[in-house]
């Protein structure tokens, strides 16, 4: 894969409180895939797996994709008063993509070729406003709202069974609003937001005719609220808790199950939890001991698009400890310490197959600094 990106822009400040940015960018992408497939069978115990050297190729596959993605963009930031801040931006997008596939089956000698082209011109943009409702010293309350209309070419599938058809681009319209506040001389911070996103042509992975493929998923709506509270009672101690309530549903998507067309409108997107929460405690100064503990909870979610298989909620723990000198930091970090292994993502290899949460893991690391950091970041659990 080859990507070449170019950007050129100007930034102006024609008057006090006004900033203008305008520019042009271009992304050139070229990808090639060349491979083959073969039959490889291992029993469930994993005993005596066959050697790959003895397996004959069953097919030769070539996939080529070229994409040009260009844009003209501009953004205006206006602060007429200390309490008000406005942002307005727009972009004209143009994509031109060409794809070709070539598959040769050795057993039958059948060769299948295909190609497709797609060009799209579409605008996108955003509008946002922030108001400072109250401020006293370091304490403040900010209200914000924004709207975004976005555009993105569809993802490319370089799998051996990829079709030549180019999927429709993904588009979304998003509304968001909320508040941010800092209290008690910046020792307490609270952020609350709510959003709604209407998505069209979301790229989904599913099995078509027994073969994993990427498809456009019609229209979906994502709604939710998110809350974050951060407390810093001492400079070396931070406590953070976050909670989110999400509702991700299909609005219009017809797909086949067992050869029968099925409308999924109103169904929740698979693997999307409605409730999630996390809490963590961080301790550490610029030198000396560092420590962190985190708990993450994920609520129940459906494993399939028809919402017939519900997976229960799960909780994981992570922690880290370290010691920092002037130029070196030694850490021991652990993730999923209670070794939970629930399904967390669908596999692209077949229907009703899933990837599980990675097992318990530990990492011992040493970080060497090229000089003393005046304001080092607080310890984090990735």
What confidence tens digit (pLDDT) does each residue in 261-297 have? Answer: 889 999 999 999 999 999 999 999 888 999 999 999 9
Let me know if residue 357 belongs to a domain. yes
Residues 6+ apart with CB under 8 A from 357: 314, 316, 336, 340, 341, 342, 343, 344
CATH number of domain containing 245: 2.40.170.20
Q: Report how many domains make up the chain.
A: 1
pLDDT in tens, 158-208: 777 677 889 889 999 999 999 999 999 889 999 999 999 999 988 877 666
pLDDT in tens, 216-226: 888 999 999 99
Distance CA 352, CA 55 (A): 28
Let me know if residue 112 belongs to a domain. yes
Q: Is pLDDT larger for residue 211 or for residue 204?
A: 204
* pLDDT cut 70: percent of the chain above it: 93
Q: Extract the tokens encoding 101.
A: 């596939």
Let me know if residue 18 belongs to a domain. yes
Per-residue burial over 215-244, b = 16 or more CB atoms within 10 Å of its CB, e = otherwise: bbbbbbebebebbbebbbeeeeebebebeb
Instruction: Give the model's pLDDT for residue 373.
Output: 52
Instruction: Give the model's pLDDT for residue 30.
Output: 96
How many residues are present in the chain? Answer: 382
Let me know if residue 110 belongs to a domain. yes
Let me know if residue 42 belongs to a domain. no
Look up the domain containing 331 and give its range.
2-37+70-368
Instruction: Give the model's pLDDT for residue 350.
Output: 65
Please state, rounded to an integer, the average pLDDT across all residues of the chain: 90
Instruction: Give the model's pLDDT for residue 155.
Output: 83
Let me know if residue 318 belongs to a domain. yes
Answer for the pair 339, 308: CB distance below 8 angstroms, yes or no.
Answer: no
Instruction: Give the model's pLDDT for residue 379.
Output: 45
Distance CA 35, CA 161 (A): 11
Averaged pLDDT for residues 51-80: 90
Let me know if residue 327 belongs to a domain. yes
Name the nearest CA neighbour of 356 among 293, 309, 314, 299: 314
Instruction: Give the model's pLDDT for residue 320.
Output: 97
Let me know if residue 223 belongs to a domain. yes
pTM, two decimal places: 0.81
């Amino acid at each position: 894969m080859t990507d070449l990106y170019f950007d050129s822009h100007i930034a102006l400040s024609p008057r006090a409180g006004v900033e203008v940015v305008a520019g042009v960018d271009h992304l050139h992408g070229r990808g090639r895939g060349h491979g083959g497939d073969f039959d490889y069978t291992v029993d469930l115990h994993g005993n005596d797996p066959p050697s790959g050297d003895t397996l004959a190729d069953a097919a030769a596959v070539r996939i080529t994709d070229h994409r040009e993605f260009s844009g003209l963009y501009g953004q205006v930031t206006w602060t007429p008063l200390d309490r008000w801040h406005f942002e307005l931006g727009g972009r004209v997008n143009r994509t031109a993509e060409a794809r070709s596939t070539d598959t040769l089956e050795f057993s039958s000698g059948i060769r299948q070729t295909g190609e497709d082209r797609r060009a799209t011109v579409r605008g996108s943009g955003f509008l946002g406003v922030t108001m400072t409702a109250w401020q006293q010293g370091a304490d403040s309350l900010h209200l914000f709202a924004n709207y975004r209309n976005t555009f993105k070419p569809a993802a490319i599938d370089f799998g051996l069974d990829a079709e030549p058809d180019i999927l429709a681009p993904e588009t979304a319209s998003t509304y968001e609003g909320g508040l941010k506040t800092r209290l008690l001389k910046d020792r307490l911070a609270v952020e609350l937001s709510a959003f709604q996103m209407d998505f069209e042509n979301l790229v989904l992975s599913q099995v078509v005719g027994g073969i994993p493929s990427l498809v456009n998923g019609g229209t979906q709506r994502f709604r939710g609220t998110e809350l974050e509270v951060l407390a810093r009672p001492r400079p070396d101690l931070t406590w953070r808790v976050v909670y989110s309530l999400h509702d991700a549903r299909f609005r219009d998507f017809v797909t086949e199950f067992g050869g029968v067309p099925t409308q999924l409108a109103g169904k929740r997107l698979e693997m999307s939890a409605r409730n999630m929460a996390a809490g963590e405690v961080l301790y550490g100064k610029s030198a000396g001991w560092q420590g962190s503990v985190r708990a993450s909870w994920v609520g129940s979610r459906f494993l399939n698009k028809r919402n017939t298989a519900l997976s229960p909620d799960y909780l994981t723990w992570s922690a880290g400890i370290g010691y920092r000198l002037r130029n070196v930091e030694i850490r021991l970090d652990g993730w999923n310490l209670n070794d939970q292994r629930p399904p967390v993502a669908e596999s692209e290899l077949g229907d009703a197959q899933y990837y599980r949460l990675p097992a318990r893991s530990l990492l011992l690391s040493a970080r060497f600094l090229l000089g003393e950091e005046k304001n080092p970041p607080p310890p984090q659990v990735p």
